[in-house]
Structure 1
Amino acid sequence: MSIEKGLSPAALAERLELVSRMLHSRGFAHDLFPSQWMALRYFAGARTDLCTASELARFQGLANGSVSRTVRTLVHKGLLAKAAAQPRGRAEILEVTPAGRSLLAVDPQRDLEALLAGLSDSDRETLGRSLDLMLRRLPTPAAGRG
């Protein structure tokens, strides 16, 4: 695919969708689904007080029910566990297990990170601003057209 100047919004949207589909399909690796990879990454990088299923749901903009199922699956697979120290009267704090950390070492997202690391600082900043803008302005499915 060649790089073109002045791409139309439709051409940009098409390319973004193609990249999105490629990334999504790569997320079916090591007996995990893309949503499970995202949850595992979240718990590996979040502050301890934010390592709850509810905070993950808030971060992803999803309902608690589906996120709770994802978390239960990761616990069942031995990739997440209840943290030893738990605050009183609060949601259960979770942590990534050693098995989860080992799996993150072969995270399929690492290829994308390597590709992005090869971009210039300016290109990464532009991409970051553009993606942030899309995340803020694109309607979620629940708020979409009816």
Structure 2
Amino acid sequence: MHGAPPEIGMRLHDLLKAIRLIKQHRSAAQPAIPTGLLGLLTEIDRLPTGCRSRDLAEHAGLDPSTVSRGVATLVRQGMVAREADPHDGRATILVVTPAGRAALSDALRWHAELITSALDGWSADDIESLQRGIDRFVGDIHRALNIHETTEAAP
């Protein structure tokens, strides 16, 4: 392939704008999780049996200082707790609290309703094609950036 047509870049710009709009509306409709921290809370929940901040930063593709600030906010909000690491008494692991799990469930339900509404009128084939395309694109971006996922998410 010769290179991505410039339209792809514009479509990605449009997609990022749509994501920002979703975040703004979700924050207004579901304020329990602080703005910008739903993804971090989701990552903590997806990692098996809690995780360390540095593992979370690596898995989420974020700077450790960004993760540290986000985790501190989630801890203050009661969404995440730091617990002693059973394998290393000097370290702590991050775990989603029951309040965090309830807020996460509400936020994910809100997202599901929004996406269901947005895809109303799409055929099952169109939806499956979109999902396959996103999966392939994300995988190929990781490949192009030479990023290898080393931490598996819990099933």
TM-score by length of 2: 0.68
Runs of 4+ in 1 over 6 A off after TM superposition: none
Percent pairwise identity: 29
Structure 1: gaps (5+ residues)? 1-7, 140-146
1:131 alignment counterpart: 138
1:48 Cα deviation from its structure 2 partner = 1.6
For residues 1-146 of structure 1, the aligned pairs below 5 Å read 9-28=5-24, 29=27, 30=31, 32-34=34-36, 36-48=37-49, 51-83=51-83, 86-89=86-89, 91-107=91-107, 109-111=111-113, 114=116, 115=119, 119-137=126-144
Number of matched residues? 130
Q: Secondary structure at the match of 1:91?
A: strand
CA deviation vs aligned residue, 1:28-74 (integer Å, no higher than 9, x gap): 4115222x11110011111125x121111111232212211110110
Question: Aligned letter for 2:45?
Answer: A
Segments of structure 2 that go 5 or more residues without pairing to the other structure are 147-155
Report 1 or 2 for greater relative contact order, CA contacts < 8 Å, sequence distance ≥ 6.
2
Separation of aligned partners in 2, 1:84 and 1:112? 38
Looking at structure 2, the residues matched to 136 and 85 of structure 1 have their Cα atoms a distance apart, in angstroms, of 33
**Structure 1 Cα separation of the partners of residues 137 and 105 of structure 2:** 28
Question: Which position in structure 1 is the counterpart of 2:151?
Answer: none
Q: Which structure shows the higher strand fraction? A: 2
- RMSD across aligned C-alpha pairs, in angstroms? 2.9
Deviation at 1:89, TM superposition (A): 4.3
